[in-house]
Structure 1
Amino acid sequence: MTPDLPFVNRRRLLCGCAGLAGFAALGLAGCGQDTASSAQAQAPAEIQPQSSCSLDGMLLSDYPGPKGQIRFANVAEVQWFCDTTELLSTLLAPEQVRTVVSAFVQDMAKADWEQPRGHWIDARQAVYVLGSRRRGSMGPTAISFASDADAQAFVQQQGGRALRFAEIQPAMVDLSGGAQQDTRM
């Protein structure tokens, strides 16, 4: 005995294939949009007058020193940091479970210390100077550079120690007591 199979004629077969092709086209169009929005999420944003720190609400433009930004997966807004130590603490926190799409800090060999704008570099590729005499918005800060040579030149002038991102341990960027060192709050 042969099982009763539904009758499939040429028209039903072609309509079914056309429907599948339509779904595939929609899927590819969606992929293109994801790629475009993904590329946008990978690009650094620029500080605006109203940009404020995601941790404490401080306006970035009111404070000197290097700034940072993180884009998390499924979060539309850029998460700003008025100090690179805050950004590093967030990236290195063992309890950090959000997926990081991109993270940027400023190349302080190029950005103005008092009013840093632009000059964004990948936070995980930067060289940081810790323990220098320079102070950021929250007191002691991790000063970010695109090149080791610029970081070493800074160390010669301001002291501290140059470290790559992979060398920084969470205890080195502990935020406890940071606000106590800010005399402008």
Structure 2
Amino acid sequence: MIRRRLALALALSVLFLPTAWAGEVVVPPPKPDSVCPVCGMFVAKYPEWIATVVYADGHAHYFDGAKDMFKFLADPKRYVPGHKPEDVRMVAVTDYYTVEPMAARAAWYVIGSDILGPMGHELVPLASEAEAKDFLRDHQGKTILRFEQVTPGLLDKLDRGQVK
């Protein structure tokens, strides 16, 4: 467990370069046949949930939600051998209200709400703390988290439906 957390912390420390914070986040859209490397789902079917990891060479991995993106970031070699965490240039999620991409590290995430994503219980990304508080109240959410608070253990609990 400590090893997984250390790997996650190391991966996250190299992921967020200034390009992920500067201005508007522009993410190449997924192709109709783009699949999530974590679960194998076709992500273009769920535009309101898409999360993206973009590498320096322009290659992008798409996910059907923030939950699978965080799983990927915790152990990228498990899902796509050959890509190095230090080559990541941007990590983006889709804001729940605007359905626009935003820097994943800037988002506020609500868990335990009555809104389910394509893979069930999900981290719902929101652009501001105020929006996260409103969403939490309106959708019976349990907790608001920041990027660095998401752990593999939390993701496991979401998958098991233990965060409701």
TM-score (norm 1): 0.60
Look up the equivalent residue of 2:40 and give its one-letter code.
G
Say if 2:51 is the partner of 1:68. yes
Say if 2:132 is the partner of 1:151. yes
Look up the equivalent residue of 2:109 and give its one-letter code.
Y
Compute the RMSD of aligned alpha carbons: 3.0
Say if 2:96 is the partner of 1:108. yes
CA distance in 1, matches of 2:159, 2:147: 22
Distance 1:154 1:43, change over 3 A: same
Pairing partner for 1:136 from 99, 110, 117: 117
Query: Deviation string for 1:135-167 (max 9, x for gaps)?
Result: 101100000011111111110111221111122
Pairwise CA distance, 1:95: 7.2
CA distance in 2, matches of 1:175, 1:104: 23
CA distance in 2, matches of 1:150, 1:130: 14
Pairwise CA distance, 1:174: 2.8
Query: Deviation string for 1:87-140 (max 9, x for gaps)?
Result: 1222244978622221000111112xxxxxxx1100111100111111101100
Structure of greater relative contact order (alpha carbons < 8 Å, 6+ residues apart):
2
Structure 1 runs not aligned, ≥5 long:
1-41, 112-118, 179-185
Contact 1:85 1:175 (8 Å CA) reproduced: no
Q: Could you say which residue in structure 2 is the equivalent of 1:28?
A: none
TM-score (norm 2): 0.67
Q: Could you say which residue in structure 2 is the equivalent of 1:87?
A: 69
CA distance in 2, matches of 1:165, 1:174: 16
CA distance in 1, matches of 2:31, 2:76: 30
CA distance in 1, matches of 2:40, 2:148: 28
Look up the equivalent residue of 1:84 and give its one-letter code.
A
- SS of residue matched to 1:129: strand
- SS of residue matched to 1:53: coil
Distance 1:64 1:138, change over 3 A: farther
Contact 2:38 2:72 (8 Å CA) reproduced: no
Percent of pairs identical after alignment? Answer: 27
Q: Could you say which residue in structure 1 is the equivalent of 2:20?
A: none
CA distance in 2, matches of 1:93, 1:107: 24
| Pair member with larger Rg | 1
